[in-house]
Amino acid sequence: EPHEHGAVGESCDVELPSGVPVPKVELIVTSGEDPGEVHASVKMENFVLGSAPEGTQLANGHWHLWLNGELKGMYEHPDATVVVSAPGEYQVMATLTDSDHCSYGVDTMTTVMVEEGGSGMGEDMDMPMEEEGGEGDEVELGRLEVQPR
């Protein structure tokens, strides 16, 4: 389901309730097989992607993927792929946020070298955030109706 991105640039922070463990995030970034692809994967502790199950005392929400300080996507699953148009070294950052896009103050950063730029769109922030699902689940982004002439 699409959501507004207007508040993303605004800064807001989430205060964890007393006794809730502080989330941790690890970011693994590799260049992909196709030109310009950057694969990012996050491993988290004390954090639930999506909505937390009833009674869970863990922080929950989604993560934001940044390349060279520019927001590239928002994800409720641990893996993401984006395509960059130019070769070079890219600074890649993951930040943990709540459903209102407010930061938990938990982020991690690394760099990746992209040997060749790509021309594909990849996933980016103009696409709706994907719903929770297992690996390999298909997500319908839209439908196209074709009429014969």
Give the model's pLDDT for residue 44. 94
Q: Report the pLDDT value the prediction gives residue 137, as an integer from 0 to 100.
A: 52
Choose between 120 and 135: higher pLDDT.
120
pLDDT score, position 22: 92
pLDDT of the residue at 146: 65
pLDDT at position 65 is 96
In a 13 Å sphere around the CA of 140, the CA atoms on its Cβ side amount to 3
Taking the CA of residue 27 as centre, how many other CA atoms within 13 Å lie in the half-sphere pointing to its CB? 24
Distance from the Cα of residue 35 to its chain's centroid: 20
pLDDT number for residue 82: 94
pTM given for the model:
0.72
Can you tell me whether residue 102 is helix, strand or coil? coil
Q: What whole-number percentage of the chain has pLDDT above 70?
A: 74
CA distance linking residue 137 with residue 119, whole number of Å? 25
